[in-house]
Amino acid sequence: MMQESGIEAASNCSTNQNEASSGNHYPDSSTREGRSNGDTSSIEVTAAELVHLQQQQAFQVARQLLLQQQASGLKSPKGNDKQPTLQVPVSVAMMTPQVITPQQMQHILQQQVLTPQQLQALLQQQQAIMLQQQQLQEFYKKQQEQLHLQLLQQQHAGKPTKEQQQPLAAHHLALQQQLIQVQQLQQQHIMTMQRCGLLTVQSGQPALSLQTLAQGMTPTELQQLWKEVTGAHTMEESVTKNGSLDLSTSSICSPAPPPKTSLPVALMNGQSTGHTPKRECLSHEEHGCNHPLYGHGVCKWPGCEAVCEDFGQFLKHLNNEHALDDRSTAQCRVQMQVVQQLELQLAKDKERLQAMMTHLHVKSTEPKYTPQPLNLVSNVTLSKTASEASPQSLPHTPTTPTAPITPVTQGPSVITPTSMHSMGPIRRRYPDKYNVPISSDIAQNQEFYKNADVRPPFTYASLIRQAILESPEKQLTLNEIYNWFTRMFAYFRRNAATWKNAVRHNLSLHKCFVRVENVKGAVWTVDEIEFQKRRPQKISGNPSIIKNIQTSLAYGSPLNAALQASMAENNIPLYTTASMGHPTVASMVGAIHEELNGAVEHSNSNESDSSPGRSPLQTMYPIHVKEEPVDPEEMEGPLSLVTTANHSPELDNDREFEEDPRNEDME
DNA sequence: AATTTCATAAACATTA
DNA sequence: ATAATGTTTATGAAAT
């Protein structure tokens, strides 16, 4: 009873309700000063609001232009830009990084295969990177000044000997390289974002300098530029923080409006209110909300999760624990790699989705299921969530050709409750095959699953296992399993009776779940061997799957290679990465290896074409060792990977024991 | 075409 | 007595 109501409450406050009519007010009556007029639907923007919006945007454009001009010293006489009047065309407004216009938003939402959550995640990551990069650059600047100072001193003291100069110079060089690297990465990132349509124009100076850098600017010049803009920069920074990037993210995610931009926020907000993943922001201080490294009262620095009661405390923590040192720098770099990697993956997946869609559309004979969205989504999901987003844009062949493809009003995201549930129970299969790395998928897309009402592409058994294995003791009570489900997946915050029954059913049915009597009741554990037995159909040489894996490898290898390279280059010991315990990197590596282990092994014989991905991985792997003490049960054979040659006897036994029969079966 | 896996529903038993 | 927890059976969809 309590349980139920708790769940309902959770679902009320955190899952989407956008099917609710526009007259329906928020269930929670938390403060919403920023919203000018309740929950006017995002689409119905009054003319006055639009005008106001444009004014604001124009103002910001003008302001930024001014800043830029000040910074670069180029005073182009564009008088009219400064006048924040209605005349500022929307296109100009759209050019500004400050605000994403509703139109633009719609466009993005229609075109993108991203859910707002994903968008938000991406943007947040990017923002974090920007911040980190700024730090880096400041660091770099300091270093250079220091160097300069020292050189001066040396000159005063007499001629610097080469011996004296060299270490410094080397250091300097290293720093430069580092910066360049960071910036190149950043730029790639930006470009990807732009390609994806996530950003139209980059915000402010950093991007500017980056692009020039890419066009062949030397670090020195760059630094000069930085110095030049630094004056404006401090100001700019505040703008950036409150306005540009952050706005774009928070407009998607959070209704907390920075004063100047309240209107746009309110506008944007309507579109995704139901989904707002960052609800908790409301209960936090306004500023805390804005910091991408702070949320849930917890420091979001990769691998940190220190609890900070308020924003001030968080700032303190940030300065103390994540000061500019080797570790932070490395983490920053890694994070960058991660983002980049994700982008890459996203791009590929989008491409794939596109192809799939075109393919399906051409056929356009999809007689059976009208519930298409779910269907496709679940299948598409098979590689990272990136693609699951826009059901609107899916083929949508069937019965109702005239039916408007799910309107934007619906809240752009995923599967709307209406689309999913109005048609009664749909039986769908959500196989977690070839998608072996459940742990990594969940880890990677945690935020997404938490907020998007999308069914995770895993079977109940897999999910239950995951829940249990994630627990410290590797055992959970039924209720705890329930809680894990609701905590981790928005999807399971509804229809409790159904899925709970399924959970119980699965627990009982599968031998792999073992009930253990405990002092205070019973807990469930996982018999991993049984589980593996039960999960045979991994691969058996199915070419498409193998291909899939190879793609994954292709995804994985550059990351690792790059990581490794960058670390080697900067003399950062590998364990730095491990110790920071970044879930994503770890999980990616893990994921790849899960696949490797589970699948490629078998098809190895004829796999000559795809080896490039492997070696870096394998060399890379040792990083993972210290990462998770809990591992042995967790993954398919992580230990075997530690020693590249993969033979920890027991595991090997297990493996043969479990898999061989299957292989024969298959053949 | 047959078999297997999975999701869902539901009846029923047991336990707290 | 009731809800939570387990067990079992049935059914159908989808994948193999």
DSSP letters for A24-69: PPPSS----TT-TTTT--SS---HHHHHHHHHHHHHHHHHHHHHHH
A310: closest CA among A321, A319, A302, A299?
A299
| pLDDT of A516 strictly over 60 | yes
Overall average pLDDT of the A416-430 stretch = 37
The residues spanned by each domain of chain A are: 116-152+175-193, 294-323, 453-534
Q: How many CB atoms lie within 10 A of CB A108?
A: 20
- Taking the C1' atom of every nucleotide in all shown strands and the CA of A2, the nearest one is C3
Banded model confidence at residue A482, pLDDT cuts 50, 70, 90: very high
Residue with minimal CA–C1' distance to B6 is A429
To the question of pTM greater than 0.75 for the whole model, the response is no
| pLDDT of A477 strictly over 90 | yes
β partners of residue A434 = none
User: Could you give the residue ranges of the DSSP H alpha helices within A534-620?
Assistant: 543-569, 575-580, 583-595, 601-603, 614-620
* DSSP code string of A214-265: HTT--HHHHHHHHHHHHHHHHHHHHHHHHTHHHHHHHHHH-----GGGHHHH
In this prediction, residue A133 carries a pLDDT of 52
- Of the two residues A60 and A403, the one the predictor is more confident about is A60
A357: closest CA among A406, A403, A391?
A391
Maximum Cα–Cα distance for chain A, whole Å? 87
A340 CA from B5 C1′ (Å): 37
Residue with minimal CA–C1' distance to B5 is A431
Residue with minimal CA–C1' distance to C13 is A427
Banded model confidence at residue A359, pLDDT cuts 50, 70, 90: low
Q: For strand C, is any atom closer than 7 Å to the CB of A369? A: yes
Banded model confidence at residue A508, pLDDT cuts 50, 70, 90: very high
- Taking the C1' atom of every nucleotide in all shown strands and the CA of A522, the nearest one is C5
The arrangement of secondary structure in A453-534, i.e. its CATH architecture, is: Orthogonal Bundle (1.10)
In this prediction, residue A324 carries a pLDDT of 79
Local structure of A360: helix, strand or coil = helix
Overall average pLDDT of the A90-101 stretch = 33
Cα–Cα distance measured from residue A418 to residue A564, given in angstroms and rounded to the nearest whole number: 47
Question: How much of chain A, in percent, has pLDDT values that exceed 70?
Answer: 21
Banded model confidence at residue A60, pLDDT cuts 50, 70, 90: low
| pLDDT of A340 strictly over 60 | yes
Strands A513-518 and A521-526 come out as: antiparallel
In this prediction, residue A604 carries a pLDDT of 36
A489 CA from C8 C1′ (Å): 28
Question: At CA A184, angle to CA A178 and CA A189, rounded to 5?
Answer: 130
* Phi, then psi, of A471 in degrees rounded to 5: -75, 150
pLDDT digits (tens, 9 = 90+) for A542-582: 333 333 333 333 333 333 433 333 333 333 333 223 223 33
Cα–Cα distance measured from residue A295 to residue A276, given in angstroms and rounded to the nearest whole number: 14
Cα–Cα distance measured from residue A542 to residue A557, given in angstroms and rounded to the nearest whole number: 22
Measure Cα distances from A453 to A85, A418, A465 in Å.
41, 11, 21
Which of A297-306, A484-493, A558-567 is the most confident on average? A484-493
A380: closest CA among A106, A110, A114?
A114
Cα–Cα distance measured from residue A422 to residue A187, given in angstroms and rounded to the nearest whole number: 45
Banded model confidence at residue A269, pLDDT cuts 50, 70, 90: very low
Which of A5-14, A360-369, A523-532, A608-617 is the most confident on average? A523-532
| pLDDT of A89 strictly over 90 | no
Banded model confidence at residue A338, pLDDT cuts 50, 70, 90: low
Three-class secondary structure assignment of A103-144 = HHHHHHHHHCCCCHHHHHHHHHHHHHHHHHHHHHHHHHHHHH
A33 CA from B3 C1′ (Å): 61
Cα–Cα distance measured from residue A431 to residue A378, given in angstroms and rounded to the nearest whole number: 9
Q: Which nucleotides of B are covered by protein (CB under 7 A)?
A: 5-11, 16
In this prediction, residue A523 carries a pLDDT of 93
A522 CA from C9 C1′ (Å): 24
| pLDDT of A487 strictly over 50 | yes
List Cβ neighbours of A45 (8 Å cut-off, separation of 6 or more).
A53, A102, A267
Banded model confidence at residue A310, pLDDT cuts 50, 70, 90: confident
Overall average pLDDT of the A18-47 stretch = 31
Banded model confidence at residue A354, pLDDT cuts 50, 70, 90: low
Residue with minimal CA–C1' distance to B16 is A521
| pLDDT of A293 strictly over 80 | yes
In this prediction, residue A219 carries a pLDDT of 38
pLDDT digits (tens, 9 = 90+) for A132-163: 555 545 544 555 555 455 544 544 444 333 33
| pLDDT of A283 strictly over 50 | no
Cα–Cα distance measured from residue A164 to residue A162, given in angstroms and rounded to the nearest whole number: 5
CB A370 within 8 A of CB A423: yes
β partners of residue A535 = none
- Of the two residues A111 and A432, the one the predictor is more confident about is A432
Cα–Cα distance measured from residue A70 to residue A78, given in angstroms and rounded to the nearest whole number: 14
What is the torsional sign of CA A477, A481, A482, A484? positive
Cα–Cα distance measured from residue A506 to residue A132, given in angstroms and rounded to the nearest whole number: 45
Cα–Cα distance measured from residue A88 to residue A515, given in angstroms and rounded to the nearest whole number: 67
CB A247 within 8 A of CB A99: yes
| pLDDT of A521 strictly over 50 | yes
Overall average pLDDT of the A528-538 stretch = 71
pLDDT digits (tens, 9 = 90+) for A160-195: 333 344 444 444 444 455 444 545 544 544 444 443
- Positions 464-523 of A with beta carbon below 7 A from strand C are 477-479, 482, 501, 504-505, 507-509, 515, 521-522
* Phi, then psi, of A295 in degrees rounded to 5: -170, 155
| pLDDT of A296 strictly over 60 | yes
In this prediction, residue A331 carries a pLDDT of 72
| pLDDT of A491 strictly over 90 | yes
pLDDT digits (tens, 9 = 90+) for A2-31: 333 333 333 333 333 333 223 233 233 222
Cα–Cα distance measured from residue A504 to residue A498, given in angstroms and rounded to the nearest whole number: 10
CB A518 within 8 A of CB A579: no
- Positions 501-560 of A with beta carbon below 7 A from strand B are 501-502, 504-506, 521, 534-537
Q: Which of A441-450, A462-471, A608-617, A618-627 has the weakest average pLDDT?
A: A618-627
pLDDT digits (tens, 9 = 90+) for A65-76: 434 444 443 333
In this prediction, residue A619 carries a pLDDT of 26
- Across chain A, mean pLDDT equals 48
A392: closest CA among A373, A370, A418, A371?
A373
Banded model confidence at residue A529, pLDDT cuts 50, 70, 90: confident
> Any idea what DSSP says for residue A97?
S
Tokens of residue A566, six digits = 């960058």
- For residue A379, the one-letter residue type is N
- Positions 293-332 of A with beta carbon below 7 A from strand B are none
Overall average pLDDT of the A387-395 stretch = 31
What is the torsional sign of CA A530, A483, A628, A636? positive
> Any idea what DSSP says for residue A636?
S
Exposed e or buried b per residue across A382-414, where buried means at least 16 C-beta atoms within 10 angstroms of its C-beta: bbbbbbbbbbbbbbbbbeeeeeeebebebbbbb
Residue with minimal CA–C1' distance to B10 is A501
Q: How many CB atoms lie within 10 A of CB A236?
A: 24
β partners of residue A518 = A521
In this prediction, residue A14 carries a pLDDT of 33
Tokens of residue A650, six digits = 């027991």
Measure Cα distances from A223 to A43, A141, A269, A288, A317 in Å.
45, 7, 39, 31, 29
Overall average pLDDT of the A32-38 stretch = 29
In this prediction, residue A390 carries a pLDDT of 32
Cα–Cα distance measured from residue A445 to residue A241, given in angstroms and rounded to the nearest whole number: 25
A508 CA from B12 C1′ (Å): 14
| pLDDT of A500 strictly over 60 | yes
- Of the two residues A427 and A607, the one the predictor is more confident about is A427
